[in-house]
Protein backbone atom coordinates (compact mmCIF):
# COMPACT_ATOMS: atom_id res chain seq x y z
CA UNK A 1 0.00 0.00 0.00
CA UNK A 2 1.32 3.42 -0.92
CA UNK A 3 1.38 6.17 1.68
CA UNK A 4 -1.49 8.24 0.22
CA UNK A 5 -3.57 5.33 -1.07
CA UNK A 6 -7.26 5.45 -0.10
CA UNK A 7 -8.92 2.15 0.80
CA UNK A 8 -12.66 1.59 1.16
CA UNK A 9 -13.74 0.61 4.69
CA UNK A 10 -16.00 -2.43 4.91
CA UNK A 11 -18.04 -3.90 7.72
CA UNK A 12 -15.95 -4.92 10.74
CA UNK A 13 -12.72 -3.39 9.33
CA UNK A 14 -12.47 -1.33 12.48
CA UNK A 15 -11.60 -4.44 14.47
CA UNK A 16 -7.89 -4.93 14.96
CA UNK A 17 -6.35 -8.36 15.10
CA UNK A 18 -4.69 -7.55 18.42
CA UNK A 19 -5.49 -5.67 21.61
CA UNK A 20 -5.33 -2.38 19.66
CA UNK A 21 -9.13 -2.43 19.73
CA UNK A 22 -9.25 -0.71 23.12
CA UNK A 23 -11.27 2.49 23.40
CA UNK A 24 -8.93 5.49 22.98
CA UNK A 25 -11.36 8.39 22.79
CA UNK A 26 -14.55 9.53 21.16
CA UNK A 27 -12.84 10.12 17.81
CA UNK A 28 -11.65 6.55 17.43
CA UNK A 29 -13.52 3.49 16.29
CA UNK A 30 -11.45 0.42 17.01
CA UNK A 31 -8.22 0.92 15.11
CA UNK A 32 -9.53 3.88 13.09
CA UNK A 33 -9.10 7.55 13.89
CA UNK A 34 -11.89 9.89 12.74
CA UNK A 35 -10.08 12.87 11.23
CA UNK A 36 -11.54 16.36 11.55
CA UNK A 37 -11.93 16.52 7.76
CA UNK A 38 -13.93 13.28 7.86
CA UNK A 39 -16.18 14.56 10.66
CA UNK A 40 -16.82 17.85 8.83
CA UNK A 41 -17.68 15.96 5.62
CA UNK A 42 -19.94 13.53 7.51
CA UNK A 43 -21.88 16.41 9.06
CA UNK A 44 -22.23 18.10 5.68
CA UNK A 45 -23.33 15.01 3.73
CA UNK A 46 -25.53 13.27 6.30
CA UNK A 47 -27.02 16.17 8.24
CA UNK A 48 -26.69 19.11 5.83
CA UNK A 49 -24.65 21.05 8.38
CA UNK A 50 -21.89 23.12 6.89
CA UNK A 51 -20.04 25.61 9.08
CA UNK A 52 -18.71 28.61 7.11
CA UNK A 53 -15.07 29.41 7.80
CA UNK A 54 -16.13 32.97 8.62
CA UNK A 55 -17.89 31.65 11.74
CA UNK A 56 -14.74 30.12 13.17
CA UNK A 57 -11.68 31.85 11.73
CA UNK A 58 -11.60 34.68 14.28
CA UNK A 59 -12.52 32.49 17.26
CA UNK A 60 -9.71 29.95 17.10
CA UNK A 61 -6.63 31.96 16.18
CA UNK A 62 -4.20 29.46 17.73
CA UNK A 63 -5.60 26.54 15.67
CA UNK A 64 -4.47 26.74 12.04
CA UNK A 65 -6.60 23.90 10.60
CA UNK A 66 -10.08 25.04 9.54
CA UNK A 67 -11.61 21.56 9.90
CA UNK A 68 -10.37 21.35 13.49
CA UNK A 69 -11.85 24.80 14.13
CA UNK A 70 -15.18 23.62 12.72
CA UNK A 71 -15.21 20.46 14.87
CA UNK A 72 -14.48 22.48 18.02
CA UNK A 73 -17.24 24.93 17.06
CA UNK A 74 -19.75 22.10 16.47
CA UNK A 75 -18.82 20.55 19.83
CA UNK A 76 -19.19 23.85 21.68
CA UNK A 77 -22.61 24.50 20.14
CA UNK A 78 -23.71 20.88 20.75
CA UNK A 79 -24.20 20.37 17.02
CA UNK A 80 -21.79 17.45 17.25
CA UNK A 81 -23.70 15.72 20.03
CA UNK A 82 -23.09 12.33 21.66
CA UNK A 83 -25.98 10.97 19.60
CA UNK A 84 -24.36 12.06 16.32
CA UNK A 85 -20.94 10.75 17.40
CA UNK A 86 -22.55 7.35 18.14
CA UNK A 87 -24.33 7.46 14.78
CA UNK A 88 -21.03 8.21 13.05
CA UNK A 89 -19.24 5.43 14.95
CA UNK A 90 -21.96 2.93 13.95
CA UNK A 91 -21.64 3.99 10.30
CA UNK A 92 -17.91 3.25 10.47
CA UNK A 93 -18.48 -0.13 12.10
CA UNK A 94 -21.00 -1.15 9.47
CA UNK A 95 -21.16 1.30 6.54
CA UNK A 96 -24.59 1.55 4.89
CA UNK A 97 -24.76 0.19 1.33
CA UNK A 98 -25.12 3.70 -0.12
CA UNK A 99 -22.06 5.08 1.73
CA UNK A 100 -18.37 4.64 1.01
CA UNK A 101 -15.89 5.48 3.74
CA UNK A 102 -12.23 5.75 2.81
CA UNK A 103 -9.15 5.41 4.94
CA UNK A 104 -5.50 6.20 4.57
CA UNK A 105 -3.75 3.83 6.96
CA UNK A 106 -5.84 3.99 10.13
CA UNK A 107 -7.15 7.51 9.47
CA UNK A 108 -10.64 7.89 8.04
CA UNK A 109 -10.31 10.69 5.54
CA UNK A 110 -13.15 10.71 3.02
CA UNK A 111 -16.82 9.90 2.72
CA UNK A 112 -19.14 9.70 -0.26
CA UNK A 113 -22.64 8.58 -1.02
CA UNK A 114 -23.39 6.30 -3.93
CA UNK A 115 -26.41 7.31 -5.93
CA UNK A 116 -28.75 4.64 -7.24
CA UNK A 117 -28.82 4.21 -11.00
CA UNK A 118 -32.32 4.27 -12.48
Q: Is 89 left (phi over 0), alpha (psi -120 to 50) or beta?
A: alpha
CB 112 within 8 A of CB 99: yes
pTM of the model: 0.85
pLDDT digits (tens, 9 = 90+) for 87-111: 999 999 999 999 999 999 999 999 9
Instruction: Give residue 42's pLDDT band: very low, low, confident or very high (50, 70, 90).
Output: very high
Amino acid sequence: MQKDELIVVTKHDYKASSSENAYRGKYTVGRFHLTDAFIVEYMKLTHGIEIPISWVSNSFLNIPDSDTQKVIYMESCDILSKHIINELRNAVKSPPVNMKIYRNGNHLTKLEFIREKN
